Structure 1
Amino acid sequence: MTLATFLSAAFHWRGRTGRVGFAAAFVLCAAVFVIWANQPKLSWDRVWGAPVLALTVLLLFGHARRRLNDLGWSGHWMWLMAVPLLHLGLSLVLALRRSAKEDQILHVGLWGKRLVYVFAMLVASRGLWEPYWIPSGAMKPALLVGDYVPVTPVWATPQRGDVLVYRHPAQEVDFVGRLIGLPGDELQIKAGVLHLNGVSVILRDAGVFAELMEPQGPQARFPRCVNGAVGIGAICEKTRQIETLPNGASYAVLDIRRQTLDQTGIYQVPEEHYFFLGDNRDNSMDSRMAVSVGGVGFVPIENVVGRADRVLFSAAGRSLAHVWTWRGDRFFKAIH
């Protein structure tokens, strides 16, 4: 199916649409709705976004009708798409049920697998996941400003190296960070190197992390660079290393320059608490700083909101309505 055929389905309901085509329309409609719903109620982005949302809903209805045609079912079933809850059941059937023609096709491409994964996640109850927008660069390079992350419950005990969303111990604000210290652990940072229970973690050089010097996210903050003050539009660099914990968890961390938090005292993690760090170590407000001085401190286990395993959507601009700032290469990207 070409892009033109996909978009024309909003107005031509007599054709046929396969499972992947319908799933793509559903994901697109869900993404546009999430973007629109997260805009301030009286903002121009919400006003101008309403017609866009209406068009994507029409596109979804068109593909639902064409999918019913492909299955040989009555088009009247399409109107269940307008009924709360029932539309989820119908969407699940249309996305998963094979037509006679599709039964002959056993291979599903990479994008088809990704769309089915996202579709299944979206139709699941909101009790199984929560949306979280990345507001800062504290977790670069794993998470960028403007990434949209579905946060899922923590079913198993978190391990060192997991990326978790947690509630600030003293504020009604959610943070995202990497779990480094478990209850009873001793941690210290010496000359910028993390020491866990008296043993330094393994670090190896991994080149540089490069990004454009430009405003990032709704707060329009500029990144900090190891290559000094660069002009807008120039390349901003940070030193990148791969950090490996004793349990084998590996991930990239960034360094800009030596600072106070590169040399700390010993942190003794209390029982029923965790110790979190941001991967962008010189630009992260995390457990290295106590709550009394504006930091996070030790985080009670009960404050953990959930696990962040994958980026669902990403936009680099100040407004999610600016489609030209969407980062297609980060859609459905796994978080390491």
Structure 2
Amino acid sequence: MSDNADTKSQNGLWENIKVIIQALLLAMVIRTVLFQPFTIPSGSMMPTLLVGDYIFVNKFAYGYSKYSLPFSPNLFSGRVLEFSEPKRGDVIVFRLPSQPDIDYIKRLIGLPGDKVQMINGVLHINGKPVPKQPDGAFTSDYSKDPGVNVPVFRETLENGVTYDSLDEGMGRGDNTQEFVVPAGHYFFMGDNRDNSLDSRFDVGYVPAENLVGRASVIFFSLGNDTSFREIWKWPTNMRWDRIFKVVR
């Protein structure tokens, strides 16, 4: 009887180990091929994305490049399995061209061949101003970017994509040269126009290969500089209205 009990115990242990291994492999496949979680570390995409938002990024939206894989191995160049093209207005995670180990998240403004320019705080694409209407005010709960009653403007792109942006007044990014987006590259800007390092500045044009995926949904959100590890602060600092909010 004891030998049979030991055998059953060992079989049960092995079955549990196999289940754990399978679960880990499934999680790795999902993270590598389908969706990857990201944390928003700065206020450059306010008010669309806030510091403390945790989002899922759709990695198969635009196909795959080496940056879709862990450690970015040089297995191939360019993109493969391109199911769809990036669309103007998409919120996208990409690798910084000058430091490809760093992830950035911004809004896609300029497609290959586009002419992009800021004139007196108004975004112009291919010579046409993007409609910009006042849409209230925004106050941040992030200590390093404590904006209070920052003017919000609703912008509507030619393809119908509409979103809010912040504009605190005239800054160095409100009047720029005309940028002509090269073939195979994209032009990105943050929705927090006066507090975003983007294609207007050192980021420059982003190669198609550097795109990681499209921001899909906010699955968790903590305000007031609350760390994910500070579980005891979750009840009072959880942004309940942002959980499972689709990113647009």
TM-score, normalised via structure 2 length: 0.77
- Distance in structure 1 (CA, Å) of the matches to 2:198 and 2:104: 9
* Structure 1 residue 222, shift from structure 2 partner: 3.2
**Preserved CA contact (<8 Å) 1:288 1:296:** yes
Q: Would you say 1:146 and 2:36 are equivalent positions? A: no
Structure 2 Cα separation of the partners of residues 279 and 253 of structure 1: 5
SS in 2 for 1:240: strand
Q: Distance in 1 between matches of 2:46 and 2:222?
A: 15
Consecutive unaligned residues of structure 1, counting only runs of 5 or more, are 1-75, 90-120, 216-220, 226-235, 290-294
Q: Which SS does the other structure have where 2:20 is aligned?
A: coil
Structure 2 contact 43–145 (Cα < 8 Å) conserved? no
* Aligned equivalent of 1:281, options 193, 206, 231: 193
2:227 corresponding residue in structure 1: 319
Aligned: 1:136 with 2:42 = yes
The equivalent position to 1:222 in structure 2, one of 138, 145, 149, is 145
Query: Can you give the 5+ residue segments of structure 2 that lack an aligned partner in the other structure?
Result: 1-11, 62-82
Within 5 Å, give how 1:35-50 maps onto structure 2.
none
The structure whose residues are more often strand, as a share, is: 2
Q: CA RMSD in A?
A: 2.2
* 1:222–1:261 CA distance, 2 compared to 1 (3 A): closer
Change in 2 beyond 3 A, CA 1:87/1:299: closer
Report the 3-state secondary structure (helix = DSSP H, G, I; strand = E; otherwise coil) of the residue aligned with 2:135.
strand
Stretches of 4+ moved more than 3 A in 1?
A: 79-82, 85-89, 121-124
Structure 1 residue 124: Cα displacement:
6.8
Computing the radius of gyration from Cα coordinates, the structure with the larger value is 1
Q: What's the CA shift string for 1:185-226, capped at 9, x where partnerless? A: 0011110000000010111111111234x52xxxxx233x3x
Task: Report the Cα distance in structure 2 between the residues aligned to 1:88 and 1:133, rounded to whole angstroms.
Answer: 21
CA distance in structure 2 between the aligned counterparts of 1:168 and 1:196, rounded to whole angstroms:
23
Name 2:210's counterpart in structure 1: 303
Could you tell me the percent identity over the aligned residues? 44
Contact 2:95 2:211 in 1 (8 A): yes
Deviation at 1:144, TM superposition (A): 0.3
Q: In 2, are the aligned partners of 1:130 and 1:151 still within 8 Å (CA)?
A: yes
Partner of 1:188: 117
Q: Give the letter for the 1:252 counterpart.
A: D
Contact 2:184 2:207 survives alignment (8 Å): yes
CA offsets per residue over residues 254-295 of structure 1, 9 Å max, x none? 111211210111000001000000000001000001xxxxx2
Q: Distance in 2 between matches of 1:247 and 1:177?
A: 18
- Paired residues of 2:30 and 2:36 also in contact (CA < 8 A): no
Following the alignment from structure 1 to structure 2, what is the Cα–Cα distance between the partners of residues 329 and 81?
Answer: 38
Residue in 1 that maps onto 2:240: 328
Q: 1:82 Cα shift?
A: 8.0
Task: Name 1:174's counterpart in structure 2.
Answer: 103
Which secondary structure state, in structure 2, belongs to the residue aligned with residue 260 of structure 1?
coil
Aligned residue pairs total: 206
Higher percent of residues as helix: 1
Does the 8 Å CA contact 1:80/1:87 hold for their aligned counterparts? no
| One-letter identity of the residue aligned with 1:309 | S
**Which residue among 145, 148, 151 is the counterpart of 1:239?**
151
Q: CA separation in 2, counterparts of 1:239 and 1:297?
A: 27
Give SS of 1:309's match. strand
CA deviations on 1:87-121 (whole Å, 9 max, x unpaired) are 589xxxxxxxxxxxxxxxxxxxxxxxxxxxxxxx9
